Amino acid sequence: MGTPFALAEELKSQARALGFDPVGLASVPGSSRLPLRQAALERWLEAGYQADMGWMADPRRRAIEALLPGVRSVVAVALSHHVRARPRAGSLRVARYGWGRDYHRVIHQRLRRLGRWLEARVPGGRWRACVDSAPLMDKAWAEEAGLGWIGKNGNLIHRRRGSWLLLGHLLTTVELPADRPSPSLCGGCSRCISACPTGAIREPFVVDARRCIAYHTIENREPRLPDWLPPHLQGWVAGCDICQEVCPWNRPDLPESPEADLQPRPWWLALNGEEALTWTEQEWDERLRASALRRIQPWMWQRNIQAALDAGRSSP
């Protein structure tokens, strides 16, 4: 097997060969930063900023050992979904992470391949692949592994890749040398806070889901959106990228993702609201096949689209 450092480098090379970039390693229980992140999560939950996303309070989120007993290391990986394609002028808006194939499947399949490779190299070593559907403080562990820092908008930011990143983690009982946690490089910038049309970023690093366009268009199961929200939608009907679009780390010249699975489906870039309101549930089912945005039910799409269209008609 060689030394732990040699194994770590070989593991990172395997991860990059699977398309992940950046890649980093963290040791469990982590540095002194992890308890601070856990305390911040507790305060966030106590303030009710999770809205009705009860799963955010899952105690395993603050106890990584509950996800894999005996875990000693975390392999943090990211896939960039930055592409230069842009929505057609006048079309409704959909968050970029949903433009391609469901990233949960893409990342999970590749992490399982990485886990099997590690198991072959270290017989008896156990592992678990996690994407953001697992109760893990994924951004905190990615930061701990040196993938980037958690920005004031709550997203992980990498110097070279910006924040257009999809995260995954491989938990393992194999002890590996840790990388240095990333320092925060947001500095005095507050563009994301100023740009949020609903004031959802209550203070630096604190996002209130109850005010967030992404939460209401994806997770809110009420028949109607809150009355105060439609005037602020700005055409967003599935998620929202405003706080990322204004981030100076998301420069236009960021490296473009070569991943075929993450390239945009053409209809996302030319979503006509009036036309989409006529689609049947079967048509929605076909368009949303293997999409991360399948989480949004057809009736929710219709609700969101109608609200965005009505707001557009009433705006001066």
List active site positions.
Answer: 132
E-state strands within the chain: 23-27, 73-80, 93-94, 127-130, 149-150, 156-157, 165-172, 201-203, 206-207, 236-238
Report CA-CA distances (Å) from 86 to 70, 164, 263, 264, 268: 45, 14, 12, 9, 10
Token pair listed for 214: 């992404």
Cβ-Cβ contacts under 8 Å for 228 (sequence gap 6 or more) = none
**Can you state the angle between helices 4-17 and 103-121, rounded to 10 degrees?**
150
Distance CA 74, CA 79 (A): 16
Q: Among candidates 274, 282, 279, 284, which has minimal Cα distance to 305?
A: 274
How many Å separate Cα 133 from the centre of its chain?
Answer: 10
- Tell me the Ramachandran region of residue 225: left when phi exceeds 0, alpha when psi lies from -120 to 50, beta otherwise: beta
